[in-house]
Structure 1
Amino acid sequence: MNSRNWVRFFIHTLLLGGVITIFTGFAVQWEKYKPLFLDFDILEIISIAIWLLGVGFIFSVISQMGYFAYLTIHRFGLGFFRSLWNPVQLVVIAFVLFDFIYFRYKEFAGENESIWPYLLVALFLLLIGIVIAYLKAKQSDKHAFVPGLFFMVCVTIIEWVPVLRVNNHDWLYLMLYPLLICNAYQLLMLPKYIERSKVERPVIRKEQQMTVHK
């Protein structure tokens, strides 16, 4: 991918994370912000939206760091485990989901609290991961399903750790949805940016040659 499309990819993902966080922020704390909308307090709404936009940019950067870190890990895994890399990823997914449920329940559950809320969040992550991985497999080939699932489940949980440790309900969902959407966008859209770079490469080369001759 050329530098021009890399910058486009970065900016589009950044803006996506910011915009999604604005909507998510108002949604998860609707009871708090509802009076502002009823009173048409435009300045206050805009100031909160700008703050949420900045927070979303941070979430987007975390997502992009996680994605490019995974691309490196994926290359290493293919080289080291070869044909066993997909089964290894499935085992890791199972362990990560188990730990995600068990340790959160053990750390944060109140007395006599059910494990179901912790289990449902993990199932939601798994379901979203399966859907996005299926779309990825249709986009490229069936071997892309497991890596896509690994990224959407395991890497999302790792990126989510800063708020998982605090376990604040609003922040959990404020960060989760932008991460999922940014991760899905990167996973599904990167090949299109790469293809665009391939198409643009002869044009850029021609422009460079014309510049040199001038």
Structure 2
Amino acid sequence: MNSRKVVFLFWSTLLVGSITGGIVGSILNSDRLLGGGFANFFWGAVWAIGISAAFSLISQMGFFAYLTLHRFGLGIFKSVRLWNRIQMVVIAFVVFDLFYLRYAAFAEAGESIWSYMVTPVLLLIYGLVIAAIKAKDTNRQAFIQALFFIVVVTTIEWVPALTANDPKWLWIYFTPLLAANTWQLLILHRLTGSGKQEAKK
């Protein structure tokens, strides 16, 4: 992985996170953006893209932090299988906490816990799909690692918005994080030449 590829990863991730977050942010704030003329819409869209760019930078820090953690995990446990099992336990713990702790902290009287389970379940399903793609392109051992990154690392990065519990900010924050994390995960093996197709070549 040379410096040119690192620069490409940085800027492409920033672009993916900024565009996806900017689109979602503009849609969620469309009532404000469309009610004040073109200048209001323009600067509102610029704000949405800018804040999404900041969140994509958080995503990149999380990505490299996980790569470091993964190396430490392999070094400590000396076994990919054992390290993957530990990650599976952490995934289950995070998915449970993602709905239970939010329910315990923010649920109003009479509110069902089921509504708090929708987002964690959808995130888990999405993580399973992305992990399957990653494993197909690289190797089976990468499945748990990819699932851990999408579910656990994204959730950790999402914590500031989760604690605020503002529905609009939850998605403005979450969209660029998830898009940037997905992009980094699926492009890394292509840049490093560690995918199955690259190995055949």
User: What TM-score, normalized to structure 2?
Assistant: 0.91
8 Å Cα contact 2:131-2:146 kept in structure 1: yes
1:18 is matched with which residue? 18
Q: Provide runs of 4+ in structure 1 moved above 6 Å.
A: none
Q: Determine the C-alpha separation between the residues in 2 that align with 1:29 and 1:111.
A: 29
Alignment of 1:58-69 (within 5 A): 58-69=54-65
Rounded Cα–Cα distance in structure 2 between residues aligned with 1:117 and 1:64: 30
Q: Partner amino acid for 1:173? A: W
Distance in 1 separating the partners of 2:96 and 2:49: 33
5+ residue gaps in structure 2?
195-201
Match in the other structure for 2:100: 102
Shift of 1:48: 0.7
Q: 1:143 aligns with which of 132, 141, 144?
A: 141
Q: Map 1:33-72 to 2 at 5 A.
A: 33-36=33-36, 41-72=37-68
2:198 paired residue number: none
In the TM superposition, 1:41-190 aligns within 5 A as: 41-81=37-77, 82=79, 83-190=81-188
* 8 Å contact kept, 2:33–2:44: no
- Report the identity percentage: 46
1:206 is matched with none
CA distance in 2, matches of 1:193, 1:141: 16
**Count of aligned pairs:** 192
Taking structure 1 as the reference length, the TM-score comes to: 0.86
Unmatched 5+ stretches in structure 1: 197-214
What is the CA–CA distance in structure 2 between the aligned matches of 1:140 and 1:52, rounded to whole Å? 35
Amino acid aligned to 1:73: L
1:34 shift after superposition: 4.2
SS of match in other structure, 1:35 = coil
RMSD in angstroms over aligned alpha carbons?
1.4
Larger Rg: 1
